């Protein structure tokens, strides 16, 4: 049975991060296989507008934490024999055949070539198709400026006109793969991604607060995205995401609460089952926590190409990627064990599932830039150390 841990050290980390100005607000939650061990929060929902305290029932834009949910939907289709991960993406979404590889520029003119091999669904699931994000790819920044093709945040279908920046299977490039994967899932299911996730994941797991399209009550319970003014204080930048996008973004579209998302984490921690409801076979979950990129590595460092959006990511050497999860290959003293699966969201949300220790946890704020080294990134580490110290 889960028993609550002494969370005073975690409380202190959260409170200090808000009082020091590292984040505008924060909520965090920790669970084991049997239940929640800790939940807490600090700060208010909207600086200068709402004094509502932030906690584990507050709604956050979870951004790329959506990716693992969409990945599980694809894995469910794979288990049922409906989706072939080795098949070319264009078999499911024909317009993928139009995606070329960007090999540089002739002046301002993009040099686009045919991919050396066809990108497969497996390439999408593992971010090895070559598709990128502008904020970690200066070539895409230049491409978007030269062509007017938008990034995915405004929610326009035109974003799918972005090229690959490496040939499929040759490099790990973090990018809009899971947005394409969501379209694959829709094609297989013959229904929209919101319905697929509601029916296969959120509904069965009792995640009633997890949605692509929050209602007014949920929006009234949500934080907004915060940025720092020149005086160093946090201020609301509003909602940022388009509430009526052209497609439901498998890469970043979900709103959720810490209490909801921990149920999803627990299901993965428990090998695909929670409270008698199974969303994945145990062997599939094992595969998700296994290296799926072979000899390729997750980059030790990914330089920022858009500093207002993200800092440089310093992941360190030797990490791998499973199905939707970053896998660390060695124990971190006082923190997660080797084989832990984790990922994060652009507005500074983060989760990890440590199957060796038997815990899962997540921490949430909604702010930019992403993973600021001495603010949000430091908070992730301080939180994790406090969690393991309390176990």
Active-site annotation, residues? 64, 67, 174
Question: 103 and 138 in contact (C-beta within 8 Å)?
Answer: no
Question: 311 and 373 in contact (C-beta within 8 Å)?
Answer: yes
Query: DSSP 3-state assignment of 244?
Result: coil
Structure token pair of residue 360: 């899962």
Structure token pair of residue 67: 């990716």
**What DSSP line would sit under 267-289, residue for residue?**
HHHTTSEETTEESS-HHHHHHHT
In whole angstroms, what is the distance from residue 272 CA to residue 29 CA? 20
Sign of CA dihedral 322, 325, 331, 337: negative
Exposure on the CB side of residue 359, measured as CA atoms within 13 A: 22
Find where tokens 């790990």 sit. 172
Select from 206, 185, 218 the least CA-distant residue to 73.
Answer: 185
Q: What are the backbone dihedrals phi and psi of residue 320, each rounded to the nearest 5 degrees, phi first?
A: -125, 180
Going along the chain, which residue ranges are E strands?
25-32, 36-46, 50-53, 60-61, 101-106, 109-113, 226-228, 234-236, 255-256, 273-274, 277-278, 301-302, 313-314, 320-321, 326-327, 341-345, 349-354, 359-364
Question: 200 and 73 in contact (C-beta within 8 Å)?
Answer: yes
């Amino acid at each position: 049975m889960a028993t609550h841990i002494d969370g005073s050290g975690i409380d202190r980390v959260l409170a200090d991060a808000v009082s020091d100005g590292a984040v505008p607000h924060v909520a965090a939650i920790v669970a084991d296989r049997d239940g929640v061990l800790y939940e807490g929060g600090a700060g208010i929902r909207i600086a200068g507008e709402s004094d509502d305290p932030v906690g584990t029932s507050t709604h956050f834009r979870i951004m790329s934490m959506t990716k693992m949910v969409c990945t599980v939907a694809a894995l469910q289709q794979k288990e049922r024999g409906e989706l072939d991960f080795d098949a070319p993406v264009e078999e499911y979404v024909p317009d993928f055949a139009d995606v070329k590889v960007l090999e540089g520029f002739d002046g301002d003119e993009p040099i686009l070539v045919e991919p050396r091999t066809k990108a497969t669904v497996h390439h999408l699931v593992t971010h090895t198709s070559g598709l990128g994000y502008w904020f970690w790819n200066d070539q895409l920044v230049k491409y978007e400026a030269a062509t007017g093709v938008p990034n995915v945040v405004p929610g326009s279908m035109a974003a799918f006109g972005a090229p690959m920046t490496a040939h499929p299977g040759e490099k790990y490039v973090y990018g809009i793969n899971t947005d394409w994967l969501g379209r694959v899932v829709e094609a297989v299911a013959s229904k929209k991604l919101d319905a697929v996730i509601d029916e296969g994941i959120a509904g069965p797991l009792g995640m009633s607060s997890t949605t692509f399209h929050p209602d007014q009550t949920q929006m009234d319970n949500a934080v907004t995205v915060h940025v720092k003014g020149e005086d160093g204080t946090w201020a609301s930048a509003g909602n940022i995401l388009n509430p009526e996008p052209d497609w439901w973004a498998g890469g970043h579209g979900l709103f959720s609460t810490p209490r909801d998302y921990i149920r999803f984490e627990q299901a993965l921690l428990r090998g695909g089952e929670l409270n008698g409801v199974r969303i994945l076979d145990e062997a599939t979950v094992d595969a998700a926590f296994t290296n799926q990129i072979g000899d390729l590595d997750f980059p030790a460092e990914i330089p920022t190409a858009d500093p207002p959006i993200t800092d440089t990511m310093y992941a360190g050497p030797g990490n791998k990627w499973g199905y939707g999860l970053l896998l660390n290959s060695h124990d971190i003293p006082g923190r997660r064990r080797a084989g832990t699966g984790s990922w994060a969201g652009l507005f500074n949300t983060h989760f990890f599932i440590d199957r060796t220790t038997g815990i899962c946890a997540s921490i949430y704020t909604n702010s930019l830039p992403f993973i600021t080294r001495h603010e949000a990134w430091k908070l992730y580490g301080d939180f994790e150390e406090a969690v393991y110290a309390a176990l």
